[in-house]
Structure 1
Amino acid sequence: MKKEILLPERKPRKFLPEDFKVENWEGLEPYYKDLLERDINTRDDLRGWLRDRSELEAVISEDAGWRYIYMTRFTDNEEYTQAYHHFVQQIQPKIAPISDKLNKKALNSEFIQELEKEEGFNIMIRELRKDIEIFREENIPIFTEMQTETQKFGQINGAMTVEVDGKELTLQQAAVILQSTDRSKREEVYHKIAQRRLQEKDKLSELYTKLISLRDQVAKNAGFDNYRDYMFKAMGRFDYTPQDCFDFHASVRQEVVPMLTELAKERKGKLNIDPLRPWDKAVDPEGREALKPFTGSKDLTAKTIECFKRLDPFLGQCLEIMEEMGHLDLESRKGKAPGGYNYPLAEVGVPFIFMNATSTLRDMITILHEGGHAVHSFLTRDLELTDFKHTPSEVAELASMSMELISMDHWELFFDNEEELNRAKKEHLEQIIETLPWVATIDKFQHWVYENPNHTEEERISAWNEIYGDFSDDVTDWSSLEENRNYLWQKQLHLYEVPFYYIEYGMAQLGAVAVWKNYKEDARKGLEGYMNALRLGYTRSIPEVYEAANIKFDFSKAYIRELMDFVKGELGRL
């Protein structure tokens, strides 16, 4: 019998009515006016004012969250799309200028310096100053247009299907066949997926060009040389610079790309083929059938909950709560946007996981990854202000990527024989060696794109190929597939939807390896460090959060070499 689960409820509201719903700007405006006009006569008044603002923002953020979730779950439902667009076009633009006034009101208070001495408030106040610095009224309509345009990427991709053996499959479902041991079948499906993507290449190129132009205008309006410099400020990257990113690219090229080439040579040898082609990259090199860690989303959910429980009962309970509340949508289907995400819901504090599972090891990793994000939401649920829960991506991705690795000790739940278990671990560790160069590729490409915003499409393709070549193995043969390679970047949703959000995966991947190393040395202490770091939310700087996990925020060649040597050693043991 399933035991009763105590479901969390949102905390009682103190500022807004309990039954308040976000419907239009007119309903929200009185609460913003109250905050704008209220007298702040003491430090406690200021703190209370910040709490009320936090409550209002949590309610709005959660409402926007549900609109986004429904739109991505059902891209073919016009009502959900319209509800999201109504928020983006009619409500959000009205909030932006008044938020700027509230930021200024807070910073102009005579009590702000007293509050700044308290943990968490110093980080939040630093963010307020940054928001004031980059706010420009003339950017509001551009943001609205940008958000409307970015949704087209999900709609274009959500509608892409191919026919294989008389069945209509989403591209995610078709990609599973690339693990088939039948090489001619892999090649056939590879071409079908590539051709389907190429049908939309012009549409996707035009969309990207338009987004680049809009983003560049935002940066220029705010007084920045380019959108990259604007985004470093907007994303609150106080702890590193573009030069650190370039150093990361160079370290990965020197320390990780040779490992990538070694893996490709090994794959080519084991498969006994010449040349190694792009459709040979996902199949098991020893000719075994693809790993199937679960059958269907119910099985995936049950196994993941048990895996988390074995790490710590609290972690399993987080996912049980989400399942019970209907906050999981895991299976791939037509009309669903691509990708996967964990959407934090600021008021109830129970996030939503969205993904496109079929049956692969990659899908299992995705639920562990998004589950790490989900746990982060639960661990920060009781922090005083919504702002304290908004962690920077470098910390958010540490939560998710570390979970992929520290959960490995319990993967026998997904694989009932040792050979398959070791194979899964090996594939995942090899994936890390593949992830770091791909992160460097996408990040370096974005730097080039926004440093050269007026580039032609030919220049973009040329820059892409040069950068892609820097971070690829030199074994895979792309002859006669040049057009596919030219547009490989179009499958990366981050370029369209969340520009400059990608380097974080690389930084957090290094952090996750370090967390795992600690966990292997002392499981209790390693897990404790991980959870302590997550509990901080964004009340400390990124290096301080990493320090709480007993790891370094560092992407030097020496550190990357040390961590990659550890990964190599673990691979050797398998």
Structure 2
Amino acid sequence: MSFTFTYQRPDFTAYQASFSKQLDKFKHASEYIAAKNALKQLNHLRKNVTTMAKVAYIRHSIDTKDVFYLEENTYWDQQQPHVDQLHGHFFSALLTSPFLSDLKKEFPETLFLLAEDQKRLTGSKIVNLKQQENERISDYTQLIASAEIDFNGKICNLSDISAYFSDPDTAIRESAQTAYWQFFTENEEKFDQIFSELVNLRHQIAMKLGFDSYVTYGDIAMNRWGYTREDLKKFRQFILEKVVPLTTQLYQRQQTRLGVDTLYHYDLPLIFPEGNPKPQGNQSELIKKATEMYQGLSPETGAFFQKMKQQDLLDLASRSGKQSGGYCEFIDAIEMPFIFANFNGTSDDVDVLTHETGHAFQSYHSAWIEEPELVFPTSEAAEIHSMSMEFLTWPFMEKFFKEDQLKYRFAHLSSALQFLPYGALVDHFQEEVYEHPIWTAEERKVCWRKLEKQYCPEKNYHFSEGLDRGIYWYRQGHIFEVPFYYIDYTLAQVCAFQFWQRKIIEKDPKTWEDYLSICHVGGTQTFTEILQTGHLNSPFDEVAINQVIETVSTYLENISETDLK
């Protein structure tokens, strides 16, 4: 998205009239060709309104202090549920069309699966509740973005101060963590209030729509086609039994490497005693290196990344008032993605750039898809593109880390394996929270800490009363903003490990071809179909996944401590 892109708040009354007119044409079409043309027009209308909502979101996230886009964000908080309800009428009409069998032959199967889900998730009875939910989500993002922490002689936001977490000086690491978490403890009542209201609203939404709990609603909202929550529970158990022992060994190895008697929470981000590998160069130099990397990776990535730069589609610098985290959004009207990040001078800058470029590259190659909801696939599939791109670019890490490239690869692969228990923890926690909607804030924190000790036993909070009470999850925006969007990362991670194995270990020449194939299909295939297209084993195939996990673990074991010095 070029920053000169013109944003204009849609006239919803006019949009509703245009949409309803085309919807009538679709519903009352006397022949298939007329229904098909009306459907294409409805796709076009949805793209236009979706574009404006995304542009408003992007510009608000870039500067949450901008009054105009703050107001536009408030507008979309109120308006989006009405838009969703209007679009819900289309999905209902699609499923009852007399030309349904003909439409299914020509349009993606996933459009009809999505329609089935949307039919269950929308309705006039929940519009007000969805508006209130959006307001509370905005309250959370504004609260996170408001952090201004006086540390080391400058005012830091949460991204800035986290750069000190891996400082070789123990005193700096500990004081940075203390200052970071002080922001959360000082605002603990606000975080608890926001989340309590979100849980209550979401429970009401589920009840009004006839669900047994918000857990069921949440899985449908995530479009989990082809597998169940029971499958997810088994996957979490697999992580507990097979992965946690391996990550425990990695943390024990880290403790020995750091030469400390006890590994405290503020030690965990420091992988090497002399400091973690850092990318060499400022932001413009990193972009130049990324350009060279993507030119070297493939003709497709080279041309794509050059186009991203030319159209000013990357906002990477951390600034006061900027929303935290990183994301990729697809701007339908110009058929190009946009990448958002918060660089802080750590290896995370390279991770987030390759990760979000994976999303962006996929959506760019799926721009041919006319249905705006299907440009990205479902989340667990979408994260395969991003997490795999992190590994496919491994051969180029010398550009960023020079003589520390082996340290980077060791730390990156270790953290990917260590992420799996945390990702499962977040899902388990949310499941418990929404199965117990009347829990108090304190009961939720007790639950988090109990589960944290199971999935992440390395977390020693001896010097942090707040963290020991269970407030760590406050920092995890997904829990507030997109409930149940987290186990997706773990499902995708074990798929990305397979691309890593094929590219790095097996030198399989067809690896890139398969990756490109899953980028092209976008959301026109289900998660399980995308796995078949990419020649990947399912995360629910415990035998196959255990083998790839063992390959990762063995690779890490074979890198000696001498090699890492």
TM-score tier, shorter chain, comes to over 0.9
Distance 1:67 1:294, change over 3 A: farther
2:51 to 58, 62, 78: 62
Does the alignment pair 1:181 with 2:165?
Answer: no
Amino acid at match of 2:163: V
Partner-residue secondary structure (3-state), 2:339: strand
Amino acid at match of 1:535: H
Partner-residue secondary structure (3-state), 1:352: strand
Does the alignment pair 1:503 with 2:487?
Answer: yes
Query: How far 1:540 sits from its partner (Å)?
Result: 1.8
Query: How far 1:385 sits from its partner (Å)?
Result: 3.0
> Matches of 2:500 and 2:339 in 1, distance apart?
24
Deviation track 1:502-545 (CA, whole Å, cap 9, x = no partner) reads 01000000010112222232443001001101211122221111
Query: How far 1:228 sits from its partner (Å)?
Result: 0.8
1:248 aligned residue: 235
1:159-308 matches, within 5 Å, as 159-285=146-272, 287-308=273-294
1:10-29 matches, within 5 Å, as 22-29=9-16
> Matches of 1:25 and 1:313 in 2, distance apart?
42
In the alignment of these two chains, the number of paired residues is: 553
Does the alignment pair 1:450 with 2:438?
Answer: no
Amino acid at match of 1:388: L
1:82 to 71, 89, 100: 71
Query: How far 1:573 sits from its partner (Å)?
Result: 4.4
For structure 1, the residue ranges without an aligned partner over 5 or more in a row are: 1-6, 9-18
Contact 1:149 1:207 in 2 (8 A): yes
2:332 aligned residue: 346
Query: How far 1:145 sits from its partner (Å)?
Result: 1.3
Contact 1:408 1:425 in 2 (8 A): yes
Distance 1:178 1:126, change over 3 A: closer
Distance 1:249 1:411, change over 3 A: same
Query: How far 1:390 sits from its partner (Å)?
Result: 3.6
> Matches of 1:108 and 1:459 in 2, distance apart?
45
Query: How far 1:22 sits from its partner (Å)?
Result: 4.3
> Matches of 1:298 and 1:313 in 2, distance apart?
22
Partner-residue secondary structure (3-state), 2:407: helix
1:421 to 375, 388, 405: 405
Query: How far 1:20 sits from its partner (Å)?
Result: 10
1:13 aligned residue: none
> Matches of 1:569 and 1:280 in 2, distance apart?
24
Partner-residue secondary structure (3-state), 1:57: helix
Deviation track 1:428-485 (CA, whole Å, cap 9, x = no partner) reads 01101211011011010000000111111221121111110111135x5322423223
2:464 aligned residue: 481
Does the alignment pair 1:52 with 2:36?
Answer: no
> Matches of 2:507 and 2:462 in 1, distance apart?
49
Contact 2:62 2:322 in 1 (8 A): yes
Query: How far 1:375 sits from its partner (Å)?
Result: 0.2
> Matches of 1:123 and 1:450 in 2, distance apart?
28
> Matches of 1:336 and 1:22 in 2, distance apart?
22
1:140-155 matches, within 5 Å, as 140-155=127-142
Does the alignment pair 1:514 with 2:514?
Answer: no
Contact 2:195 2:480 in 1 (8 A): yes
2:563 aligned residue: none
Amino acid at match of 2:90: L
Partner-residue secondary structure (3-state), 2:331: coil
Contact 1:530 1:549 in 2 (8 A): yes
> Matches of 2:379 and 2:126 in 1, distance apart?
24
Distance 1:390 1:423, change over 3 A: closer
Query: How far 1:92 sits from its partner (Å)?
Result: 2.6
> Matches of 2:509 and 2:248 in 1, distance apart?
36
2:392 to 402, 406, 410: 406
Contact 1:412 1:421 in 2 (8 A): yes
Query: How far 1:103 sits from its partner (Å)?
Result: 2.2
1:564 to 545, 549, 554: 549
Contact 2:173 2:267 in 1 (8 A): yes
Distance 1:108 1:171, change over 3 A: closer
Query: How far 1:256 sits from its partner (Å)?
Result: 1.1
> Matches of 1:376 and 1:270 in 2, distance apart?
39
Query: How far 1:314 sits from its partner (Å)?
Result: 1.4
> Matches of 1:48 and 1:157 in 2, distance apart?
45
1:309 to 280, 295, 302: 295
TM-score, structure 2 as length reference: 0.94
Amino acid at match of 1:464: W
> Matches of 2:313 and 2:484 in 1, distance apart?
28
RMSD over equivalenced CA pairs, Å: 1.9
Partner-residue secondary structure (3-state), 1:356: strand
Deviation track 1:305-346 (CA, whole Å, cap 9, x = no partner) reads 221221112112222212221211101111111110001112
TM-score, structure 1 as length reference: 0.93
Distance 1:472 1:111, change over 3 A: same
Partner-residue secondary structure (3-state), 2:402: coil
Query: How far 1:21 sits from its partner (Å)?
Result: 5.0
> Matches of 2:126 and 2:535 in 1, distance apart?
41
Partner-residue secondary structure (3-state), 1:524: coil
2:104 to 101, 116, 127: 116
Deviation track 1:26-56 (CA, whole Å, cap 9, x = no partner) reads 3313311321322412222222111111111
> Matches of 1:42 and 1:20 in 2, distance apart?
37
Contact 1:178 1:279 in 2 (8 A): yes
